[in-house]
Amino acid sequence: MAASNTTTSNAVVTMDVFRYEPDASELPRMQRYTVPFREDWVVLDALNHIKDEIDGTLSFRWSCRMGVCGSCGMMVNGEPRLTCNSFLRDYYPNPIRVEPLSYFPVIRDLIINLDHFLDKLEEVKAWLIPAEDRELSEGEYRQSPAQLAQYKQFSMCINCMLCYAACPAYGHHSEFIGPAALALAQRYNMDSRDGASDERADVIFSEEGIWDCTFVGECARVCPKNVDPASAIQQAKVEATKDFFKSVLVPWGKRQQPAESR
């Protein structure tokens, strides 16, 4: 579509933006901006317009502008959204309220502190730990399409944390490992090449792992990549229950200890 067709002349949209400037004030406030309305603009474009043309002090994260990097997640009218994926035309002519992702601590304006999330990814060992170590010369780890299908959905996660901002269990208890990290743990547990489910189990089968989840299911609804963390967590609960009763009924069937910490 030609760019000229997509501009509605003189039309504007009102943006109410969450501001938090710790050097200036302890308390956050809402600031109103008026930006041009364009058919093909997303909320992120409007924020960039504000930063470039109106108020250079506004801070927010973004990178790819195409829904793959996962850095532009914010609350748009109370819903966790990728702002590069949310068109102004879907809200126009109503005002648009932009806030940092719910439940996370705010560092500045629309920027949240994501250290906790990164820690959690590390705790659940969200990476492949091969069941058998192989030399490069022995060739690749092979996997059938059916084995790939088991975990593929969970591997689509882009770490945007929208699911955390939708999760009241995380809102109540920030130590909860939470939807994406648990879905990623499950992603590696279900990978036929991986051999570390038992190591991960100590974390994900703990109180702060899957058992903090009350299956609200909002994580699945807001996820832009259709990951369905809620399903991953329910499946892990079933696994944890099997694991528990196995350890009660056959206590001598010792689980293998990991050779050393990896």
15 near ligand FES (CB under 6 A): no
Of ligand SF4, ligand FES, another protein, none, which one sits near residue 72, judging by CB under 5 to 8 A according to partner kind?
ligand FES
Q: Is 177 in the site for ligand SF4 (CB under 6 A)?
A: no
Which residue is it, tokens 């092979």? Answer: 142
Q: Distance between CA atoms of 128 and 205, rounded to whole angstroms?
A: 19
Residues 69-88 that bind another protein (CB under 8 A): 78
User: Residue 207: which of ligand SF4, another protein, ligand FES, none does it interact with, CB under 5 to 8 A by kind?
Assistant: another protein
Indicate whether 110 belongs to the interface with ligand FES (CB under 6 A).
no
List the one residue from 15, 112, 183, 196 that touches ligand SF4 (CB under 6 A).
183
| b (16+ CB within 10 A) / e for 36-53 | bbbeebbbbbbbbbbeee
What are the start-end ranges of the E strands in the chain?
7-19, 29-38, 73-76, 79-82, 96-99, 106-108, 111-112
What 8-state DSSP symbol labels residue 76?
A: E
Cα dist from 162 to 4, 76, 85, 104, 254, whole Å: 34, 11, 13, 11, 39
Instruction: Using DSSP bridges, classify how beta strands 96-99 and 7-19 pair: parallel, antiparallel or unpaired.
Output: parallel
Positions in the binding site for another protein (CB under 8 A) = 20, 22, 26-28, 78, 102-103, 105-107, 113, 115-116, 119, 122-123, 145-146, 148-150, 168-169, 171-172, 201-203, 205-209, 211, 214-218, 220-221, 228, 230-231, 234-235, 237-238, 240-241, 243-245
Positions in the binding site for ligand SF4 (CB under 6 A) = 157-163, 179-180, 183, 223-225, 227, 229
